[in-house]
Amino acid sequence: MSKKITFHSAHTEFDILHPEPSSKFIPSWFRKMQGVTDGIMTVKKCVPFLDAITGGYMIPLTADVFWDHEKKSFDSDALVETVTQHYPSQSEDIHLPEEYDPTPHKWMSNWHIKTPKGYSCLITSPMNRPDLPFYSFSGIVDTDRHPLVINFPFVLRKDFHGKIEAGTPLVQVIPFKRDAWSKKVIDEGPRYHYGKEYLVQEPPFGFYKRNFWSRKSF
């Protein structure tokens, strides 16, 4: 039986773009990519890569926002607050890639997220999306208990100037069950050996998908 995640609007008086399964946000560059080039499979054929892109749900930007690189400010005609600033001191010790401006901003969410008892959510920047002009920080929230709207801090690329369009995915929300785990490491004795590794490189393509992959449903 499937579990249910609920996104409850904090502004029911407005028609705000809804969270949707991540499978509805597959980027055009991935759709256009060739699956095989020069007889070699591309990332288009990598099922784990696609599972990451399509896992969980995306919360989209509700209206166009414009970033003025010179003024260091956002502008938008949104009916609800869409983006605000964080204080630089809140994230100044995070070691970011060189291409990102360290000044933190915050996507203002319109959604209360609720999951069944015992389930939390990983909220992260849309996975495998280096094309986006921003990077949203990751967090795990116990959404079966947390009663408030969850906002999403992010940073921008230094070279970005212009519009981020309504509908752009801001964060990816992946529900998961909280389980207790322990660790075991085996580093002596007979090595682990599958014995059929050679089949991975032999046709037909798609060895992992055909033999080990499980379909995910969101």
From 112, 113, 140, select the one nearest 124 (Cα to Cα).
140
Query: Taking 90 as the threshold, does the pLDDT of residue 164 lie above it?
Result: yes
**94-136 pLDDT per residue, tens:** 899 999 999 999 999 999 999 999 999 999 999 999 999 999 9
Report angle CA 33, 35, 39 to the nearest 5 degrees: 125
**71-81 pLDDT per residue, tens:** 889 999 888 88
Please tell me the pTM assigned to this model.
Answer: 0.90
Query: Taking 70 as the threshold, does the pLDDT of residue 146 lie above it?
Result: yes
Percent residues over pLDDT 70 in the chain? 95
How many angstroms separate the CA atoms of 106 and 84, rounded?
A: 5
- What six digits make up the tokens of 113? 């997220």
Report angle CA 123, 176, 182 to the nearest 5 degrees: 110
Look at residue 162 in the predicted model and tell me its pLDDT. 95
**42-97 pLDDT per residue, tens:** 899 889 999 999 999 999 999 999 999 888 899 998 888 899 988 778 888 889 99
Confidence of residue 2 (pLDDT cuts 50, 70, 90): confident
**176-215 pLDDT per residue, tens:** 999 999 999 999 988 887 767 666 666 667 777 877 888 8
Is 170 exposed, middle or buried, given 0-12, 13-18 or 19+ CB atoms closer than 10 A? buried
Q: Which long-range contacts (CB under 8 A, 24 or more apart) does 140-143 make?
A: 141/113, 142/178, 143/5, 143/113, 143/114, 143/115, 143/119, 143/175
Look over the chain and give the mean of its residue pLDDT values, rounded to a whole number.
91
